[in-house]
Structure 1
């Protein structure tokens, strides 16, 4: 961060008038006030860039939080959430951004002899504090840094800047050699530049090391199909049901790709995986309704929409599903579902 940015933060954080406010709360208050206009723009920035632009993705906000927390000497923890990811298709690359937030802890006070510190007060720095979170996982700092390079590598890949993308992949894997999406990007780079054997080797490595994801497995299968290896590709696609993926939204994303290819039976199977993982979510039922409608199964579509409406949660979703149901009942519009 620039000296001016650091001074602005320190002038606020170390102001004697705020000394009675707990450190983590004072820290959160600064971010809340100074960055109240911070907006999501889907780009990963450095701390200085995010501060200057007042924008970035959730990883940018976490990077900025990290820089300021280090200045203040506060401990932090990263959490990766299985919440609804943000999809952004650029060219023929589908970008899926996971959600990361940061916990900022109050300093550890001296613990009296015989006492055990069970928990510490903290503030959560998050873009969407009220968003639905299916599950949270702690992310170590090296993995957090690898995620930064992953985002940068993906952005460079979109721009066909393969050397830059490869450089970020290399730096990211130095931090966390098990980062699946970095390995997936590496394989895609090799495929794009015509080094098919290297791409196959990376995909095979991911399989052998149990690092394959839904995304990488589909890319592997598509590469095999392009080589005429239909049997191997079908085996990989058939094995997707065994992939250890706990994020229901990842299964819904995969289902959507098969809906676009009118492979409805496979899409339904992936939607059901999401439904089994998170039976309280409304999105799987809405997606089912869409599939059934496109198959002409209007009664099944209606039943799925009714389930989505029950689980909708927000008034906006309730209104949406109620309107879809009315349109479906009236049979007035053959395109009332997406």
Structure 2
């Protein structure tokens, strides 16, 4: 669950989480450092890099332009996308890899160590969905704006603000951006860590991370959504419903929260209420995430590969970057004897896979499919 829960900013502030809602007695204590400061702390290696590699560039181009050149041209800063887990700024710098949030945190930490101003933006429309159990998790996209605040508006040579975004320009072009606080960005980091622990089955650790997220950014609704996922895993759908109702009251248009609230109400036997929320959800978002994917897998289980492929294609029409759906579409196409189509879907699954491990898995499947071409 890469970059999980990184949307929902700009909401009405929530009060601090109550002991009742975070339900600590349901979770065992764990020895994990959930201090949010670690996410943006520059390491000695980062400071050494600034002194050794950046100073020559700064003298010629100014600090913000030097940062852009370093990220795009310096061999020492060749970065790779890796969404296997959310790294701190220091971890992303050491690995020269990370998901969008990790690389954004790294850039912000380097810029701040250079004395530049750092602000963050949420990019609207960049959300992606995933699932945990019967509930939905979601991730979004942020970027960072850096510059020398003392020069803004002066017309000086180095007075420009620089937006650093780790998605291709065409993927974010035309999307509205919203400034968000550093506390929200730290909440995103902590919530991502919670979602990753949850995906790995480390429920108690996930709870520790989400408690820190809610303490750091109590108005960050995706963290409440993650808490609901954890409560559902602990068999407390009643508490999950209360948490989601709390989040839905804060962001009435948050379709992720509404979808989960409807699911939890169904699980607790409150079908009429669930139906009302689903009706509201359909009005806000006519295409329910994963509905066609589920239909496709049901058709595949029944051996109806034609219907399965059609359903997978419908799901990809909603979101074309779902690696798992591409993998299933490739399987259906192969069953239908459409090898070229299967190959295309596997190539896309490899491109959109969230980590090198998963990308390697799809590459191996693609090699198997291509093997007859080499004879």
CA-to-aligned-CA distance 1:203-223 (integer Å, 9 cap, x gap): 221233335622222222112
Is 1:35 the counterpart of 2:93? The answer is no
CA distance in 2, matches of 1:262, 1:205: 31
Equivalent position of 1:22 in the other structure: 62
Equivalent position of 1:60 in the other structure: 102
Aligned residues: 268
CA distance in 2, matches of 1:231, 1:90: 24
Post-superposition offset of 1:88: 5.4
Unaligned runs of 5+ residues in structure 1 are 244-250, 264-289, 295-300, 302-307, 309-331
Equivalent position of 1:197 in the other structure: 238
Cα–Cα, structure 1 residues 35 and 20, in superposed 2: closer, same or farther, change >3 Å?
closer
Post-superposition offset of 1:127: 1.3
Out of 208, 215, 225, the position equivalent to 1:184 is: 225
TM-score, normalised by the number of residues in structure 1: 0.67
Equivalent position of 1:327 in the other structure: none
SS of residue paired to 2:116:
coil
Is 1:255 the counterpart of 2:294? The answer is no
Post-superposition offset of 1:194: 2.0
Equivalent position of 1:48 in the other structure: 90
CA distance in 2, matches of 1:228, 1:242: 23
Out of 111, 127, 147, the position equivalent to 2:166 is: 127
Contact 2:132 2:229 in 1 (8 A): no
Out of 225, 230, 244, the position equivalent to 2:271 is: 230
CA distance in 2, matches of 1:4, 1:13: 13
Post-superposition offset of 1:87: 5.1
Is 1:103 the counterpart of 2:136? The answer is no
CA-to-aligned-CA distance 1:232-288 (integer Å, 9 cap, x gap): 111110111455xxxxxxx48x5342223449xxxxxxxxxxxxxxxxxxxxxxxxx
| Structure number with higher relative contact order (C-alpha < 8 Å, ≥ 6 residues apart) | 2
Cα–Cα, structure 1 residues 93 and 195, in superposed 2: closer, same or farther, change >3 Å?
closer
CA distance in 2, matches of 1:260, 1:44: 27
CA distance in 2, matches of 1:166, 1:44: 16
Equivalent position of 2:23 in the other structure: none
What RMSD over aligned residues (CA atoms) do the two structures have, in Å?
3.8
Contact 2:92 2:98 in 1 (8 A): yes
CA distance in 1, matches of 2:289, 2:178: 26
CA distance in 2, matches of 1:91, 1:233: 18
CA-to-aligned-CA distance 1:133-169 (integer Å, 9 cap, x gap): 2221111111111111111111111122222111111
CA distance in 2, matches of 1:207, 1:166: 21
TM-score, normalised by the number of residues in structure 2: 0.61
Cα–Cα, structure 1 residues 86 and 105, in superposed 2: closer, same or farther, change >3 Å?
same
CA distance in 1, matches of 2:86, 2:263: 28
Contact 1:78 1:101 in 2 (8 A): yes
Contact 1:221 1:236 in 2 (8 A): yes
Contact 2:64 2:147 in 1 (8 A): yes
Post-superposition offset of 1:90: 7.1
Equivalent position of 2:30 in the other structure: none
Equivalent position of 2:185 in the other structure: 144
Equivalent position of 1:317 in the other structure: none
Out of 206, 209, 222, the position equivalent to 1:168 is: 209
Out of 82, 103, 112, the position equivalent to 2:124 is: 82
Post-superposition offset of 1:28: 1.8
SS of residue paired to 2:178:
strand
Cα–Cα, structure 1 residues 18 and 177, in superposed 2: closer, same or farther, change >3 Å?
closer
Equivalent position of 2:248 in the other structure: 207
